[in-house]
Amino acid sequence: MEVLARSESLTAAVVWLSMASVCYAGDKFPEFPAHQASDCAISKEQAGIRIGVQPVEDPKEQKQYFHTQLRGFIPVFVIVQNASDTESLLFVRTDLRYGAAAIPADSTPKPYGSAASVATVNSIVFGSASLVGGVGSDMALSKETQIQRNIQNKEMESKTLSPGASTHGFVYIPVTKNGPREKIRLLVPVTRAGTGDSVVLEVVF
């Protein structure tokens, strides 16, 4: 009887794992298409640096790539390309700045919050800033935690760009939840690795 009970328990565990695998497979998050910078809704080139900016404001698109609607934030897809043939560049995510386009250009824009921005998104969207670690595998993660982790994984990262290289990812810009949003001014500073000089590319959307 004891052997039979163990066998039934093992069978139940296998069935549960199979079902969990199927459920988890259905919750996979598609990657946002990595266009060339010039193919984005907004693009700019300056001093051998190209950037592309693609705000994702359509709720259907947000649900497609994030499995939730990011109320209070706009996920903005950003591409930085090093168009130089000889010079390496350094992109640092925390150097990003943003502000309302209506504010005078000589005013100080807000710094982008790096990892803290993801915590803020999660706090507002889900009511919790924590990213709970899984037990054993991602199959053990709740759907909410999977969504939070996807938001974090899609965030743009700091990177050194060799000649011809590029980097891309999302930044999450806070906006008002009620009424039409104001136009946003985004500043993307990039540093030349050899000289330490910075080039700041500015776009409005």
Q: What residue ranges do the domains of the chain occupy?
A: 1-30, 35-112+151-204
Q: What is the pLDDT of residues 21-66, one digit of tens each?
A: 334 444 689 999 977 898 999 999 999 999 999 999 999 999 999 9
- What would the DSSP string read from start to end of 48-63? TEEEEEEE---HHHHH
Per-residue pLDDT of the chain (205 residues; tens, 9 = 90+): 544 344 444 334 333 333 333 344 446 899 999 778 989 999 999 999 999 999 999 999 999 999 999 988 999 999 999 999 999 999 999 999 999 988 776 677 898 875 567 777 877 777 776 654 444 445 556 888 899 999 999 999 999 999 999 999 999 999 988 888 899 999 999 999 999 999 999 999 9
Residue located via tokens 């709970």? 132
CB 63 within 8 A of CB 130: no
Residues 6 or more apart whose Cβ sits within 8 Å of residue 174? 72, 73, 120
Angle 6-12-16 from CA coordinates, rounded to 5°: 145
C-alpha closest to that of 19 among 139, 147, 141: 139
Class in CATH terms, 35-112+151-204: mainly beta
